[in-house]
Structure formats: C-alpha cells, structure tokens
Amino acid sequence: MTASPSVETNPPIETIATTATPHHDEPVFQWTLFLLILALLAVSFAAIFIRWSSVELGAGATVFNRLWIATIVLMAWEGLKVGQSRENPTPPSIRLQDYGWLLLVGAVSSTSVVLWALSLSETSVANSTVLRNLTPLFTSLGAWLVFRQRFDRRFLLGLFVAICGAIAIGVGDFQLAWHNLTGDILALLSALCYGINLLLVENLRRRLGASQILLWRCGFGCTLLLPYVLLTETQIFPESAMVWEAVIALAVLCQCFGQGLVVHSLKTFSSGFVAIFLLLEPVVTATLAWLLLGETLSLANGVAFGGVLTGIYLAKSSCLMKPEPQPEKVYESSPAT
C-alpha cells in the first residue's frame, strides 16, 4: 500500500534502512564513497588529539569541549547558509517530533563516547578495542529487527570478515578475567549506543540535512554531558595553548568535518555499510600514531587492514547490486543532498 504524501511524509518503517544506492546513481555513489574516505581520515585523528588534550583534561571534559566548540562552529555555518538562502534552496524545516529524535541522537552519541572512556579505566585497551569494534553487528541487527532491512549473503560475509579483521587489532592481548568484566560491559554498551546512533541518523537523513542533524546532536550532547562533567572533572577548560589547539582541532576536524561527512554519507549508504567502513579507523589511527607519536606498528595492524578492506569490498559489492524492482513511491527522493 502506498502512503498518501498528505498524510505521512516519512516512508514506512520497512524501507527506512535501504542497503543500496540505485544503480543509476553511480556517480553519487562514488562521490559519497570518496567523502566517506575523507571522513575516515578526519575522525582517525581523534585519538591523537585526545592524547594531547589528556595532559590537562579528563575524558569527559575533552568530549564536552569538543561538542560545545563544534556547536558554535555549526551555528556559524548554519547562519552563513541562511544568509545565502536567496541563492540556495531553503533547508528542510525541523518538526516537533524531529527534535525528540535529535535529542535521542545527542544522548546516545554522547553516552557512547563517555562509556568508551570509562571502559578504558576498567579494562585493557585491547579488550575495549575488540568489543567496540562490534558496532556493525549491532547496527545490522538493529536494522533487521527494527527497520526490517534485509541483507544478502555477500553483505553478511563482508560484515563477518570486516569484524574479524578489526578484532585482530587487539585479540592478541585480549584477556578474559572477572576484574575486566565491568570495563568489557561498558565497551560493549558503547558499541551498542554508537550503533543506535548510526541507525537514528540514517532515519533522520531522509528528512533533514547533515549539518542540521550534527548541530542539534552536538548541542543536545554537550548540554546533557555538562552535569556529568561538573560532577566528575576537576578541570573543565584547557589552560595551555597546546591543549586549546587540540580540543579545537577535535571539534573542527573530527566533529564538524569528519562526523559531518559520516552523517552526510548516511543519505546514500546504509548504517550497516558505514559502520563496517569505519572499522578502518583503528588501523588508520595506529598509522597516524606511528607517524606522529613514534608508536610501533604490529603484524596485527596489517592483518586488520587486509581483513577490513576485504569486508568493505564484499559489502560494497552487495550495495552495488541492482535492487529488486519495487513499485514507485511518491515519498522516495534522490540520495544526493
């Protein structure tokens, strides 16, 4: 049954999480894939900047500064877009129910970061890395259970191979011990929250622009995070110029540019594919740490890189497959924005 556009402006839940870009939008597909690569490079710098900011700030304060600075930058960007509205199309209006979803996105994305930071104090870096790399599993499972999205065998094989490759980063040092259990659960919950974040943003991208979503996500996120920071952190703002530069770089490069492109890509790619692609982040971060911090690269990094790339190729091949013929729906729109 086809919904009347005057009654329902959103697509039915069965079609929210589409796996593929239609074959006639191949240029859009390739351009968005290029932007997703740029996003990966940008967000991979986050661990480097966090390392530099940890000289003065705790994890909560670092995330809080990252979000409020990003909110200001995004507000300025939205202001510039409004000033040019005579030449460009008016951005979609945000409805009351959208604010509820944006608040939820801000909550789960901030919770994911805080849980990950807390897990690092309760378990090993290897355990946290392995468990947080299960995000694509939660994303795909949520898309299947909630959005009734279907996956072919090639995509599922790519998901399995990519996760195995990403887990190879820390599996050598992975420890099964009761004293690590709290941190392991926190890392697993962090992966779950980030997967929910990707699913929610994928849904919102069918109506709202990337910068709109990111602005409200950062704004709600820093507001919700403020009480936690006030209760747990002894220092909220940086003191030295070096740490200010680190948190500003986190906000501008990693949050506004990197996460902005991730949000943009969710108009074209499914959240499952984006989650698989972002499994390359630990490998790219390790390479950057080798170049900038003098840390060593291991064989596990090479295995992870090869495994994740193979999984991405399989998942990408699945996305490129021509979809099954479906009746034309009046609410469907081009993935290009």
Q: Is residue 10 part of a domain?
A: no
What pLDDT sits at residue 258? 93
Domain assignment present for residue 291? The answer is yes
**69 domain residue, yes or no:** yes
Q: pLDDT tens-digit profile of 268-294?
A: 888 888 888 888 887 787 777 778 767
Q: Where are the alpha helices (DSSP H) in the chain?
A: 26-43, 46-53, 59-83, 96-122, 125-132, 135-145, 153-167, 181-204, 210-232, 241-249, 260-265, 271-277, 281-292, 299-320
Residue 2 lies in a domain: no
Q: Note the pLDDT of residue 2.
A: 44
Check: CB of residue 13 under 8 Å from CB of residue 148: yes
CB atoms within 10 A of CB 13: 12
The per-residue pLDDT for 19 is 42
- Note whether residue 336 is domain-resident: no
In a domain, 182, yes or no: yes
The verdict on residue 92 lying in a domain is yes
Q: How far apart are CA 166 and CA 95, in angstroms?
A: 39
The reported pLDDT for the residue numbered 256 is: 94
Q: Which of the residues in the chain have pLDDT under 70? A: 1-25, 82-91, 120-121, 123-130, 166-180, 293, 295, 297-298, 300-301, 316-337
In a domain, 295, yes or no: yes
Q: Which of 141, 146, 201, 197 is nearest to 15 (CA)?
A: 146
Domain count, the chain: 1
What does the pLDDT read at residue 177? Answer: 57
Q: 69 is in which domain, residue-wise?
A: 24-320
